């Protein structure tokens, strides 16, 4: 008889999900409790439970503490979870569709395009509320340009063509961004603050802004996760199995780009999440994208919530850019992955 191996009454395949979900829950609670205005763990948990329709719990928090929880910390934790989950699942999707373990969500120029869009808003002195929209539009335009460049011969023949087009577009948009910055050098510090990433919020607005785009992108990627397993055997073999490789690749890339552009629009350029998270998930659960993508979503949320906790407490009351924290973790990890891939050859 064959079947899923069961340990302690629980399928082996569910263990990584339980572990990652526990890390996310613990990290979220820590992020809600720790800060300049310390909140009691029991009070926070009771306050959250009191919002459930079937419970009536007295939290004991003062009105000021409740305001800190609901208007400052909880929106920031929620934004970190949404952005981290988006970058995690997008990174896993990019690595699958390009069959490259070092691919990340910024591969096709979305980061350079978003950076240019944000820089134009900052330099022009336009309303700050326009910055997320400009960053999103810039990222989308950059990826569309990448695809247009890769299709000059009629179709995107290989993933290598698409990657090379992405490198060219990213270089061009970065050059334009640098030129725009030089036109108003007094804004350089503000531009770099955005580029290094941040999860500062003014409430729930940023969460509601990004959540619909991420939800749509995640739904598409999860629906196509089995197709990534087919693509893993090679494009020729996948075609012989009846898969429309061009359509599937375009759908997955567009969905991953949508998630990435939405995340970048509200949080800036937070690096390495899309590389670190999918690789860690593979070490825990194997290489099938049926599990890699959903777990990358949850693990990305956990990773960024914890990274943000470090960013705002390590040098308190000052705040370290979250991109610096993820780079401290991601750069050594990237080096290890690169060394292992070179040895495998």
Which residues have C-beta within 8 Å of that of residue 147, sequence separation ≥ 6? 108, 156, 162, 165, 250, 253
The neighbouring-strand residues paired with 71 are none
Whole-number average pLDDT of the chain: 86
- Among 150-159, 160-169, 211-220, 268-277, the minimum mean pLDDT is found in 150-159
Chain centroid, CA 80 distance in Å: 9
Task: Return the structure tokens found at 173.
Answer: 């948009």
Burial of residue 35 (CB within 10 Å: 0-12, 13-18, 19+) is middle
pTM for the predicted model, two decimal places: 0.89
Instruction: Please give the distance of CA 15 from its chain centroid, rounded to a whole number.
Output: 23
What average pLDDT does the segment 214-237 reach? Answer: 91
Section 319-323 average pLDDT: 89
CA distance between the termini of the chain: 38
The radius of gyration computed from the CA coordinates of the chain, to the nearest angstrom, equals 21
Cα–Cα dist 129/134, whole Å: 9
pLDDT digits (tens, 9 = 90+) for 74-89: 999 999 999 999 999 9
What are the pLDDT digits (tens) for 20-48?
999 999 999 999 998 888 888 988 888 88
Number of DSSP helices (H) and strands (E) in the chain, helices first: 15, 2
Tell me how far apart the alpha carbons of residues 263 and 80 are, in angstroms, rounded to a whole number: 9
- Is a pLDDT exceeding 50 seen at residue 50? yes
Measure the CA–CA gap between 91 and 100, rounded to whole angstroms: 11
Domains and CATH numbers, the chain: 29-66 (no CATH), 80-340 (1.10.3470.10)
Which DSSP state fits 59?
-
Residue 332's pLDDT is what? 84
**How many other C-beta atoms can be found within 10 angstroms of the C-beta atom of residue 99?**
14
Closest C-alpha to 252, from 278, 211, 223: 223
The secondary structure of residue 148, as a DSSP letter, is: H
CA pair distance 136, 142, nearest whole angstrom? 10
Residue partners of 25: CB distance under 8 A and separation at least 6: none
Which of 88-97, 157-166, 171-180, 278-287 is predicted with the least confidence, judged by mean pLDDT? 157-166
What percentage of residues in the chain have a pLDDT greater than 90? 47
DSSP letter at 206 equals H
pLDDT at 215: 96
How far is Cα 331 from Cα 328, in angstroms, rounded to an integer?
A: 6
- Strand-pairing partners, residue 10, are 7
Mean pLDDT of 143-163: 80
Closest CA to 277 of 297, 258, 261, 256: 297
Q: Are 92 and 289 in contact, with CB atoms under 8 Å apart?
A: yes
Distance CA 161, CA 149 (A): 9
């Amino acid at each position: 008889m064959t079947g899923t191996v069961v340990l302690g009454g629980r399928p082996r395949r569910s263990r990584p999900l339980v572990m990652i979900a526990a890390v996310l829950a613990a990290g979220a609670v820590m992020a809600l409790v720790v800060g300049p205005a310390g909140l009691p763990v029991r009070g926070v948990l009771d306050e959250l439970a009191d919002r459930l329709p079937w419970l009536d719990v007295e939290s004991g928090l003062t009105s000021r503490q409740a305001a800190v929880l609901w208007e400052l910390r909880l929106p920031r934790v929620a934004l970190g979870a949404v952005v981290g989950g988006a970058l995690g699942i997008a990174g896993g999707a990019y690595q699958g569709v390009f069959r490259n373990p070092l691919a990340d969500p910024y591969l096709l120029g979305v980061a350079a395009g978003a950076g240019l869009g944000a820089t134009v808003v900052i330099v022009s002195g336009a309303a700050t509320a326009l910055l997320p929209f400009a960053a999103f539009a810039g990222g989308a335009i950059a990826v569309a340009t990448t695809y247009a460049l890769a299709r000059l011969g009629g179709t995107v023949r290989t993933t290598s063509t698409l990657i090379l087009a992405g490198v060219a577009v990213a270089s061009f948009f970065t050059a334009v961004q640098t030129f725009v910055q030089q036109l108003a050098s007094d804004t350089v510090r503000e531009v770099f603050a955005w580029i290094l990433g941040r999860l500062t919020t003014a409430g729930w607005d940023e969460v509601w802004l990004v959540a619909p785009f991420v939800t749509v992108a995640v739904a598409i990627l999860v629906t196509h996760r089995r197709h990534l397993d087919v693509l893993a055997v090679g494009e020729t073999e996948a075609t012989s199995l009846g898969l429309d490789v061009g359509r599937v690749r375009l759908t997955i890339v567009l969905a991953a780009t949508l998630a990435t552009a939405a995340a970048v629009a509200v949080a800036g350029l937070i690096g390495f999440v899309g590389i670190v998270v999918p690789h860690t998930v593979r070490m825990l659960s194997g290489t099938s994208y049926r599990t890699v993508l959903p777990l990358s979503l949850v693990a990305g949320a956990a990773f960024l919530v914890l990274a943000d906790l470090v960013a705002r407490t390590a040098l308190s009351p000052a705040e370290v850019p979250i991109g610096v924290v993820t780079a401290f973790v991601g750069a050594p990890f990237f080096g290890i992955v690169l060394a292992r891939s070179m040895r495998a050859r």
